[in-house]
Amino acid sequence: MSLVELVILLVIGLLAGFTGGSLGLGGGIIIVPALVFIMGFSQHQAQGTSLAVIVFPVAFLGAYNYYRSGFVNIKYVLVLAVAFVVGSYLGSLMSINLPEKILKKVFGFALLALSLKMIFNK
pLDDT at 22: 67
Q: How confident is the model at residue 101 (pLDDT cuts 50, 70, 90)?
A: very high
Contact assessment for residue 31 and residue 54, using Cβ atoms and an 8 Å cutoff: no
Domain borders along the chain are 3-120
The pLDDT tens digits for 36-82 are 999 999 989 988 888 888 766 667 877 888 899 999 889 998 888 88
Q: Per-residue pLDDT for 102 more than 90? A: yes
Sign of CA dihedral 22, 28, 29, 33: positive
Q: Which helix (H) or strand (E) holds 34?
A: helix 32-37
Decide: pTM greater than 0.75: no
